[in-house]
Every structure is written in structure tokens, then in C-alpha cells.
Amino acid sequence: MSKQRQKLPKQFRLQVKTKLEALTEVLAWFEQISKPFLEDKCVWQCQLAIAEGFSNAVRYAHQGLPETTPINLEINLFSDFLEIKIWDSGKPFDLKAKLQSILNDKDNDPLEREGNRGLYFMDQLTDELQYIRMSNKRNCLLMRKYINGNQEIDE
């Protein structure tokens, strides 16, 4: 199935409250904006990565914070990659070190253990994964996924 040709880049933003129930809205929003551009497999993979990143923001980064604390999401579609950003207001977290410890643990298969499975999925389903502390004391989970670019870039 061929996806329609549209001018790129495109940017989409959403802000939701800190509650797991908002995940339904987040995934529906992503599906609506991504379907015209991405193949179904890529949409599914990105939805899984977004679900893991969002639920981690709610459960861990915003643990103890009011439900009104916003979580911001941004999707940037380019001709050759998709960029997903999820901002939280939690404490800094060393994603690289945590991923290294998961991947270096030869005694346990990451898929067989309950904890940290989401980080493993995000790492495997995206081409780039970073967690950046911003100057405004917020954190940005940045995920990039390379795609087959058959769209035109708006110059």
C-alpha cells in the first residue's frame, strides 16, 4: 500500500495530564497523524515505543507529582525519519547507563524479566534513543526512527 505524498517536514504537538488513562488519547493522536505517512508496521512499532515512554513518564518521572503536571509530546516527520519527543518534569535519569546494564546482564533475557522491559523495547524499536535534561529542568525522551522517504520535503 502506497502512502500519500505530502509536503514534509511536519510537526504535531499534544499536551496531556499525568495519568495513564491519557495513553489512549496519545496513541489515537499518533495513529491519526502518522497513518498518512507511515507503513502500518512502523506505526505499530512507534506506538509501542510511545506507550512505553509515556507510561514511564507517568509512573516514574512524575511519581508523587500532581495529576495536573503536564506531559508534552511532539512528533516531527521528515522525509527520511520520524522524531518522537516526550517531555516530563521528573528528576534526571541516566538512560544510557540503565540500558547498558540491561544489555550487559548476560544472565537474564531482557524479554523474560518484568522490570526494564519497556526500556529494552524502546531501544530495539527505534534507531536513536536519548533522555536529555533540558535547561528548564524538564527532561526530553527523544526517539528517532528512520523510514523510507518517498515524500517531498517542503523547502
Asked whether residue 2 is assigned to any structural domain, the reply reads no
Give the model's pLDDT for residue 24.
98
Predicted confidence band of residue 108 (pLDDT cuts 50, 70, 90): low
Question: Do the domain assignments include residue 88?
Answer: yes
Q: Find the domain containing 36 and state its range.
A: 8-153
| Pick from 3-17, 74-88, 133-147: least confident | 3-17
Which residue has better confidence, 101 or 143?
A: 143
pLDDT for 99 equals 85
81 within domain boundaries: yes
CB 147 within 8 A of CB 106: no
Domain count, the chain: 1
User: Does 40 map to a domain?
Assistant: yes
- Is it the case that residue 154 has pLDDT exceeding 50? no
Indicate whether 67 belongs to any domain: yes
pLDDT tier, 39 (very low <50, low <70, confident <90, very high otherwise): very high
Give the mean pLDDT of the chain.
87
Residues in the chain: 155
pLDDT (0 to 100) of residue 83: 97
143, part of any domain: yes
CA 154 to chain centre: 24
Structural domain contains residue 32: yes
The predicted model scores a pTM of 0.84
Element (H, E) at 19: none
